Amino acid sequence: MRLVKRIISTLLFLVAALTVFGFVLENQYPLRLTLFGWRAPELPVSLAIILALLLGMIVGPLAAMVVGARRRRTSEHRHGVKDA
């Protein structure tokens, strides 16, 4: 069973890697982003999308942690729970 899981994991990884590789090869058009007057260097569309995805993967969980901590504090304050 362990071998089957390893083979399936390897195949899924290879499919994902080939999909990303194909995406990068198909989206090589140059892109220049401008935000509030700041101009980013010219990058391929694929790199801009991958960087946006990675940034979202970092910012999303951080924002969820902040909201979760705020909710815990509010809940503890309402229910009178004190830190040990």
Q: Examine residue 11 and state whether it is found in any structural domain, yes or no.
A: yes
Q: Examine residue 57 and state whether it is found in any structural domain, yes or no.
A: yes
Q: Examine residue 84 and state whether it is found in any structural domain, yes or no.
A: no
Domain assignment of residue 38, given as a range: 2-79
* Residues linked to residue 35 through DSSP beta bridges, in sequence order: 38
Q: Examine residue 74 and state whether it is found in any structural domain, yes or no.
A: yes
How many domains does one find in the chain?
A: 1
How confident is the model over 8-63, as pLDDT tens digits? Answer: 999 999 999 999 999 999 999 999 989 899 998 999 999 999 999 999 999 999 99
Q: Examine residue 50 and state whether it is found in any structural domain, yes or no.
A: yes
46-55: list long-range contacts, CB under 8 Å, 24+ apart.
50/20, 50/24
Report how far residue 70's alpha carbon sits from residue 73's, in angstroms, rounded to the nearest whole number: 5
pLDDT level of residue 81 (50, 70, 90 thresholds) = low
